[in-house]
Each structure stands twice: as C-alpha cells, then as structure tokens.
Amino acid sequence: MESSVRSSAAKFKQLRHFTAVTVLVLSLAACASAPSRQTQTSSASAQPLTRLQVVTPDADHDVLAQLLAGEMALSHTDLKAASGYYAKAMVLSNDPEVAERAARLAIAIHDSAAAQRGLDRWQALGAKPVAMAGARAELALDRGDTDEARRQLELLLGSNDKDAWRQFGRVLIGARDQAQAAQLLEALATPQRLPADAQAWLAMSELGDKFDRHAYAMRIAEAAVQRFNSAETYAWLAQMKLKDGDKDGARALLQKALAKAPQNVQLRLAYAGLLSQAADYAGAAKVLEHGPQNAEIYALRAALAAQSKDDKALAALYQELQQASPDVRVQSAYLLGQLAEMQHRDAEALAWYGQVGDDDPHAFDADLRSALILHSQGKVADAHQLLDQLQIDYLDQPALLRQAYEVDAELYVRELKFAQAEQAFSRALQVVPDDPGLLYGRGLAYAEAGQIDQAVQDFQHLLKIKPGDVDASNALGYTLADADRDLPEAEKLLQTARTAKPDDPAIADSWGWLQYRLGHLDQAAQTLRGAWLANKDADVGVHLGEVLWKQGRKQDAQEIFDEVRKLDPHSSSLQATLKRLHP
C-alpha cells in the first residue's frame, strides 16, 4: 500500500508489448490448361519468390497500425482519437491489455457505450475480477450511478486483494464528482473495515482531507494513532493539527513521533521547524544537532544560529561542516561560503563559492557574492568582469539579469563612477521597465553626478508609479533642496515623508538641509544634530558642520568635520564642502 494518495495515478499505462497480427497468404500460380514447353521453361527459370503473392491487411484491419496510431494520438494528448483507434484494435486483438486500454480511454472521454464494450471485451479475454470491479466502479462514477459504483467497490474491497485499497483510492480520486467520491469514501473506508495496514489508514485520511471532509480525515488519523501507535501516524496527525492551527498539539505529536523514530531526518526537520516558529531556536538547534546530518539539516542549523545571532555556534558549525562527507560538502558549498563570509574569511569564502556547481540552485548567488567580495578586496576589475559574465549567462532570465545589473551599478556608485552606474541602471531598466528600485537607484546616481534634471525626472516618474512613496518623496525633496530649486515643492514632499517616518534620520537630514536652504539656521542645526546623534552618517555630519559654520560656530563645525573624517577619510561631500567654505 502506498504511503498516501497524493495524486491520481496515470490512468493509461504504456503497453508492455503490442500484439501484432500479420496475415501472409501464399499461393502458387496455377494454369487453367497444360502449359506449353516454352511456358514451362520460362516458369522454371523465374525466381521462386516471384511466384508468391503476399496479401496484407488494410489499415482498418491491421491491429499494429491501430495501436501505433493510438499511441501517436496519446502523445499529442488527443484522447478522443486514441480511444477510436484502441476500440478498433480491441476487436482485432486477443490481448486483454488492449481491451483494458480501450475501456479506460473511453471512460476518460466519457463515452459510456464504448467503455461498456471495452469492459465486456476485457472480461471476455480474462480480466482479473479485482481489476474489473475497479474499472466498472470508475464507469459507474463517470455515469453518476452511485449505487452501482458502491456495489463494484464493495466487490473490490471484499476480494481481500493486496492492492484492493490502493485501487479503491485511485478510483475515488479520479472521479469527476468529488462530493460523490467523498460520500463513498466515508461509507466504505471505515475504521471497522480498513485493513491492518497503517499506510491504508493514512491514505484514506489524506484522501478525506483532499475532499474537504476534514472531520472524517481527523477521525481516521486519530484512530490510526490509537491502533498503530507508530511514528508515521503521529506525524500525519501532527500535520492535521497544524492545519487546524493547533501548533502546541502538533509539537506534542511530533515529539512522540521522534521518540518512535529518532533517526528520521524529515521528522527532525519538521519538529525543529515548529520549535523555531515558536522562537525556541535553542530547542530547535538541539533537535537537529543529534542524529544523522545532511545538507538540509546543516542549512537549517545555520539559519537558526544566525537568527539567534550566535556567532560561536556559526563558527562551530563551519568547522563541523568542513569535516562532513564529500557529498554533503559538495551540496553545501554555498552554505560554507556564507559561513566563511560571516567570519570575515573572504579568501575561504571565495574558494567555497567557486566550488558551487553550475546546476546548483545557488550558482547565481555564489557568483554574485564572489563579485562583492572581490570588490571589497580592491579587485574592482575582476568584480565587474564577473558581473559582466553573469549578464551574459543569465540573459534569458530577466529577474537574475536585473539583479546582476543592479549590483554592477551599485558597485560603480561606491567607486563614484556615476556615469557607469547610470548606464548599468539604464540597461537593467531595459530588462524591467519602470522597476521602482532601479528608477530610485538611477535617480540617486544622476543626483550624485549633478545631473539634477534627470534625477528629478526619475524620482517624479517613480512617484507616478508609487504615489506617496516615502523614499521617493524624500529623495526628490532632498534633491530639490540640495539644488536650491523649487523649495516649496521640496517642503511639501519632505513633510509627507516626515509624517510617515517621523524618527527616520535620513528624512530628518533632508528636512534639516531644506531648513538651511530656506535660511532657518537654528531650526536646521537642531534638526541635523538630532539626525547626527541618531546615526553617525558622514553626509549628515557634513551638513551639520556647514550649518554650524554658517552660524559662526566654526570651532564646533571643525570638530564635526574631524569626526566625519574619521568615519570616512575619503568622503567626497566633506572635500567639496571644505573647498567651498575655504575658497
């Protein structure tokens, strides 16, 4: 008995053989009168095969031709044509499998008369009673005849055949009317009648759940636990409890299941998952630490340690995983790279990412992480070269191609190469037009390059796509304020952003800078100092320092500038500001 009835089994199995009927009728040519000497000589000298006549049947009477045509129709999912061909083949063949195929095809296209003929022919050729009962039940269900379907299913289950319950499930799951099938399921698959096989009980419970007969499914699941007391019955009942929202009940049942099968990997993963949902990360990790390990378990253990911000556990897991079996290491190459990165072992991370195979689902991510590491190591050309290769390799996958362009652009921004950044963002926007994140990124690149009109255009377009977007409002408001243009519009935009996020330091910086442009120095200084204390960002510090300088508080301004220089020795905004203040 299969573990569950999850989907309808294929109704039409490929024939293991074809029954070929080839009719060869050989006849010797005869003369009506005694041949002349010349004729006899001529006949004697002719090849023997030239005196044979081969009579072949036409296509309508050639079983092999019908079978081949039927299979061809099936390959094109033309069930109606296939049914017609098999109906003809059934008459010409004595193979019961051909008749069975003809009957099942007729049922599939809801041709009751043809199905009945197929079943009768199949029975005449020696169909097994169990298989015949199942097929007749299918036909009855297709006709909507519940009484006949029940009678045939009773015959099927009463046969005590080892496959009876499996066939019972297949018949019901293939029914057109699920309500009718559910009615028969509850009537026939009762605890009193189900066999001494836990898999049968679980299959019927799952089938009931599929038919939205949840009470029945739960009743069978609970009865299965009482009767078999096995890990699999506990696990299925836990799944049912979880579906009902009873997480505590599900955890208790999974705990019992694990006590029965402590080495079962899937049970450990399920139980750990429930514990982690309850924020019991330590308990989940403990469940996974013991017992067999595989790549999936290592990945979950790493996720739990990261969630708990347990650096020691991550370091220990990295060491443990490096000692795992070769196949687990191969499957976990990307995870090993991540763990190495978390411990600032960039060279090791690059090595692990390099071992991620092209067919690994993390292949793209591994290359992307490699590019970022190379860039952080100062290998700028290598980083962009790798990203260029990704843009070629994933040309037919827009989502990944977009990501490769975006990372390429962001790295150019870090290098203050704003023209290249704008080009990369623009290429990405050709792949994903009107993408909000890309428009925002390109707008920032334009603004940094001093191309204010283009920046304003991108931010305005973004706000048309996402009216009232806080980040876009802040970006456009700041850009206008920084350029000292259209300040009333900037004030309106930034007021909207402040209302949405009153404690956001970036928005406070924009508002403070706007007040500076408006000539409200005291208000600007107060707002910018609050933003600076909340987030020691270099640009915020430069703004605050300039406002203090303009207030005549040059010593205070210099102290802020010195602090900015420590944060970012290469700050371009600081250099530009100092040049402007010390002409």
Digit-coded pLDDT (tens) for 92-131: 999 999 999 999 999 999 999 999 999 999 999 999 999 9
SS (H, E, C) 449-494: CCCHHHHHHHHHHHHHHCCCCHHHHHHHHHHHHHCCCCHHHHHHHH
Digit-coded pLDDT (tens) for 373-398: 999 999 999 999 999 999 999 999 99
Other Cβ atoms less than 10 A from the Cβ of 361: the count is 9
Distance (Å, whole) CA 272 – CA 250: 12
For residue 196, with 0-12 CB atoms within 10 Å meaning exposed, 13-18 middle and 19 or more buried, which class applies?
exposed
Least confident interval from 45-54, 65-74, 151-160, 198-207: 45-54
Residue 21: the pLDDT is: 28
Residue 498: the pLDDT is: 95
Digit-coded pLDDT (tens) for 512-560: 999 999 999 999 999 999 999 999 999 999 999 999 999 999 999 999 9
55 pLDDT higher than 70: no
Q: If you average pLDDT over every residue of the chain, what do you get?
A: 88
- Torsion sign (Cα): 131, 132, 136, 137: negative
Residue 39: the pLDDT is: 40
188 pLDDT higher than 80: yes
Digit-coded pLDDT (tens) for 412-442: 999 999 999 999 999 999 999 999 999 999 9
Distance (Å, whole) CA 375 – CA 384: 8
- Over residues 181-195, the mean pLDDT reads 95
Percent of the chain topping pLDDT 70: 90
50 pLDDT higher than 90: no
Q: What is the dihedral of CA 434, 438, 441, 446, to 10 degrees?
A: -50
Can you give the pTM of this predicted structure? Answer: 0.65
Spans of all domains in the chain: 499-583
34 pLDDT higher than 70: no
CA angle, 205 then 209 then 212, to 5° = 140
Angstrom CA distances, 109 to 73, 103, 445, stand at 14, 10, 62
Q: Taking the mean position of all CA atoms in its chain, how far away is CA 77? A: 27
480 pLDDT higher than 50: yes
75 pLDDT higher than 90: yes
pLDDT category, 184, cuts 50, 70, 90?
very high
Distance (Å, whole) CA 130 – CA 163: 9
Residue 538: the pLDDT is: 93
Architecture of domain 499-583: Alpha Horseshoe (1.25)
Distance (Å, whole) CA 222 – CA 217: 9
DSSP states along 201-250: HHHHHHHHHHTT-HHHHHHHHHHHHHHH--HHHHHHHHHHHHHTT-HHHH
- Residues 101, 79: contact at Cβ < 8 Å? no
Residue 272: the pLDDT is: 86
58 pLDDT higher than 80: no
Digit-coded pLDDT (tens) for 403-416: 999 999 999 999 99
From 151, 117, 118, 146, select the one nearest 134 (Cα to Cα). 151
54 pLDDT higher than 50: no
- Over residues 561-577, the mean pLDDT reads 92
SS3 563: helix
Residue 448: the pLDDT is: 93
The owner of tokens 């289950």 is 157
SS (H, E, C) 519-534: CCHHHHHHHHHHHHHH
Residue 476: the pLDDT is: 97
Residue 47: the pLDDT is: 52
167 pLDDT higher than 50: yes
Digit-coded pLDDT (tens) for 265-320: 888 888 888 888 888 888 888 888 888 889 999 999 999 999 888 899 999 999 99
Residue 572: the pLDDT is: 87
- Over residues 339-358, the mean pLDDT reads 96
